[in-house]
A and B are shown apart, each in its own frame.
Chain A
């Protein structure tokens, strides 16, 4: 029963995940933090940061972490399958039909609306994560530097690695956990 409900919860998220990876995280926050209360904002942070640093598709990693949290390895299999199912189905059904959005003006307009929703979701997600994670001036500094670095289209891996080293140095110098 638990596995079936994991599958369908992620199916629902996968179905509305326009715009890829981070949309899934934002949707998951709405579903699992606010509505079902399976996880806290803090755990969402942990999973997001781990998904980002590990190899693989971020949204797949993220679903796997949540599934694993709820039901071990089998749970992660159900969560990931549920999430990719709509994407697989959509491609199998549409691969022949759609080549260019221009042929379908209504679809294009609807998608323009959806993009606005996605941007709002991401901004809300960013604020909620900032409130949960950033507890010191040093943390804010790391966040702002990463923000600027990636804004200039440089590799997102670099600020994450530098931040990790900073956290290590912080602990060695001050003898307490970085917050």
Chain B
């Protein structure tokens, strides 16, 4: 037993840590292109292999059966929030390296870890990038752009891409260095749930605020007598400002829940607009 250990340790000294910073940097840049050949069959599979190739080349010789095995492994189906894919790649890289150093390493785990990660990683990734970062950055961008300012699109790009870059960069490093233990630690301490819940809170509050400030719909009805003009809208505003935007958002949400298709809703909104322009019930 101890002999075996010594032998393994000796091997470790010989060939562990073949992957260096440069290789990981290549993986980082390539990972941006993970969706380049997106197809319904294996989804991001080929893109994943493409991103892993710098690491694989370091470990295996081109044209060797080992390389063939590795390439096959990494062209299997993958689908994950693109920014989070690098974490999986870092993990795969460290496992490929370990496989080389340790002949007893169960090869199947490389892919089974990938498969087991896709769900939870996408869960966090989607709620962060689509539900929170994108909502906030578009909100800020639109705010500035509605005056016609070029800062609008610039703001959108900056605020979205900073977290995007950080997650990609550190995801890869953390995935490679700490491997699976990092995620196990996260899972056992509920931190994942907390983070996702927190992200949803921020996202939804911003959506709520946008509902109040970015939808334009007002009653056009006015009642005038010789003394005064009373508009329905000003009465409504004194009770609950932006009540119409709230009601219309909730109504559209209800339609979505009833599985009414988005295209019908859009058509409905356009017809509603034209009708109310002729009737004069609503204005912007």
* B partners with A: no
- Spell out B's residues near A (CB within 8 Å): none
Q: Which residues of A contact B (CB under 8 A)?
A: none
